[in-house]
A and B are shown apart, each in its own frame.
Chain A
């Protein structure tokens, strides 16, 4: 009895979160995804440690004073060294940090834009809707990677934050379409009617009443956008258009390729490649599991009960 009371005292959102979490955790995809992501987060956090241990472990400038070329794994360099004697393991850790930074910030920005435009278009309708959606159509058909490549060759290599911004600017339309359709159905619901009759302004209706209802969907899309952003950054870096001042996984792949170690230094080629695959996989799995939480129709019989 006492327990029941306590549960009732929990706030509503927390209650909802717990319920969602239990559905999420029962899904094997969600479990694997979160575990993988946890490992990468740990890598990103620990990337600050190696340079403190010894300056030769600095991912960009630290070189082993005795090693002048790429050598395989050893006790001193767990994954070996790159062509000029830098430690691959500390580069891999630094790469995790960059991947999170690029992925999460680009996805957050694109979700922010997509949600805002989607809600406004769906709620306002008419001319605003047409204008925003045609704009979304135009941007949606532009191939992001190609546009970034052209920009990079025109203006020289782009800074990592510029790359993040460009990815965000190109990736909002997909989200805005989904959010718009959600906003369209919400608009017809009685509670919005009621708010309007009560004299609420458009801004208040959009942000107080529509936004809380589309946010979960937006977060779902965010997980998919993270994977896209990480892959685009890696592709850019691999092709030689990344930010040369950052040690990202794509950059590591580019170094192994351009210095002619592609076919002989697997200890250097495989780790960044596998990391890129796994981190995008983990975000994808989390997205799939979240999909199930948000859309009960996808749940299997027993979880739906």
Chain B
């Protein structure tokens, strides 16, 4: 009897559990304002809806549909087009000022968007020195708002990145943020107070606004009825949105999301696919695989602040030993391109093609011999050299630095396989290639947070494999990554590269307003970097994305993939 009753109780428990699951699924919104919802599969929830703190991919995905910049890039030629601004800025070289006329727009709460919101945003970034945006605003001297739809920016000096970086900063609402700013100002650590402020309902000007966030399950953005672009034609594109909203469904693993995509429960899985999934997904006639180039740089970096990587010859030998063809053909399965410089080849205007290609066209034996040559010339010795007396390649042992001390074991930090299996595998393969010549290398995948803390914060590391997936199209990052002023804790110059000549050219490049001249300077900078090798550029992966085609049409491909504001504004239900 007791047994029976306990059985029925557990059965009852199971039923209840099933019911809860069912309710959660049924509760997932399907329609809004009579238009169907786009269901987007993501791997994680946003870390924060506070735009000043949110730098992770998942928060940016949600917030990019809410907060909008003055100018944005159109998808076909990636040219800057006026977005919240009405037309191109007017430059006055005499006063070093840019005048921007704003579009008539409203915030998602119905209040008008005015020039004081723009000025407020700029002043907020400058006052609190918001780390993510400060470098784009520090050179803006003054902001004037002669009328609600005109903003004038006065610059301290000519700045090539003003248009591409500063004017693409998202604008926040003064009404929502003023109380927060006033509260934060009073605190001792005002920046921390600003960043830690919880924002439940961000008010933006974008095509969507937050309706509901059910933690752990989904985020529902409904169409913003006050969106300025609705019914307009911007950059030759007729904007909607024609969908009722977007539901971000949280999966945790790619496998679960891809199974749901095949079943039709989501319309897009907004994350790059591993090549292994492609064949299987292509069999489904309702699923389309979209390939886009990334504006990325995946590279191996060294700590130039300490031995042995402060030696250029050693860095050159490592660059020679790395088999980039192996990385692209095998680890990336062909979905990517080799990189010889720090600007991706797709960025044709700025990419320098005349740089030294260390390992190009060499087989394994030739690579080892060439690296052995570079190192021997620089005074390195071996107990058992990797190339023996008869010129045969053998396994090198006991490598010694030019001063005679044995080379200490060093680690190559990589993100964990869980975060990016490709970079983890690259680290392991580089380890094996370096060991063949006798270098005591070991790859060490590390949780991403601890990795950046160790490399950027404590700056205590030997070498690492990292990547930038979303480089801006403006090449100012070449300056940012290698200029010696950025060699500081949390600074962009992670390698600690210090070259006075480079600094001079870099500073010149950012102030050069003539495109051709600036281009020549940027090329010169790239040649210096590839010669000195603080970073060894490795590859730029291709972005593979999968979308369903049975419910919506009109996906817009762009350099960063089909998940972009243009897509969401132009998608039409079938």
Contacts and interface: CB of A to CB of B under 8 A. Distances in A.
Contact of A259 (B274, B445, B450, B451): B274
A78 interface: no
Interface residues of A, number: 31
Contacts of B413: 156
Interface in A27-80: 60-61, 63, 68-70
Interface of A: 60-61, 63, 68-70, 83-85, 152-157, 239-241, 244-245, 254-255, 257-265
A217 B484 CA distance: 65
B418 A240 contact: yes
Nearest to B413: A156
Interface residues of B, number: 37
6 contacts: A153-B447, A156-B451, A244-B445, A259-B275, A260-B277, A261-B276
B514 interface: no
Given A244-B427, A263-B255, 6 more contacts: A68-B334, A155-B450, A156-B446, A240-B417, A245-B428, A264-B279
Nearest to B414: A244
A84 B330 contact: yes
A257 B442 CA distance: 24
Nearest to A84: B330
A245 B280 contact: no
A60 B330 contact: no
A262 B275 contact: no
Interface of B: 254-255, 258, 273-280, 326, 329-331, 333-334, 413, 416-418, 421, 424-425, 427-429, 431-432, 442-447, 450-451
Contacts of B446: 155-157
A150 B326 CA distance: 33
B426 to A, nearest CB: 11
A157 B444 contact: yes
Contacts of A84: 330-331, 333, 425
B280 A263 contact: yes
A61 B429 contact: yes
Main secondary structure of the interface of A (DSSP, over half): loop
A196 to B, nearest CB: 51
B417 A258 contact: yes
A26 B331 CA distance: 51
A119 B333 CA distance: 57
Contacts of B450: 153-156
Contacts of B442: 245
Given A154-B450, A259-B421, A68 B254 contact: no
Nearest to A265: B276
Contacts of B421: 255, 258-259
Contacts of A153: 447, 450
Main secondary structure of the interface of B (DSSP, over half): helix
A265 B274 CA distance: 14
A300 to B, nearest CB: 30
- Point out which of A153, A244, A257, A262 has the most chain B C-beta atoms below 10 A from its C-beta: A244
Contacts of A83: 275-276, 330, 333
Contacts of A257: 255
Contacts of B258: 260
A60 B427 CA distance: 13
B221 to A, nearest CB: 29
Contacts of A239: 418
B319 to A, nearest CB: 19
Given A68-B329, A85-B330, A258-B418, A244 B432 contact: no
Nearest to A70: B276
A60 B258 CA distance: 29
Contacts of A254: 417
- Point out which of B427, B431, B445 has the most chain A C-beta atoms below 10 A from its C-beta: B445
Closest 6 CB pairs of A and B: A260-B276, A156-B446, A240-B418, A84-B330, A260-B277, A260-B274
Nearest to A261: B276
B66 to A, nearest CB: 31
B416 A260 contact: no
Nearest to B253: A257
B275 A245 contact: no
A156 B414 CA distance: 9
A157 B445 contact: yes
A153 B451 CA distance: 10
B255 A262 contact: yes
Contacts of A157: 416, 444-446
A69 B417 contact: no
B432 A60 contact: yes
B136 to A, nearest CB: 33
A45 B452 CA distance: 41
A68 B333 contact: yes
Given A70-B276, A156-B446, A262-B255, A245 B333 contact: no
Contacts of A241: 416, 418
A155 B5 CA distance: 50
A152 B447 CA distance: 8
A68 B330 contact: yes
A16 to B, nearest CB: 45
Contacts of B280: 263-264
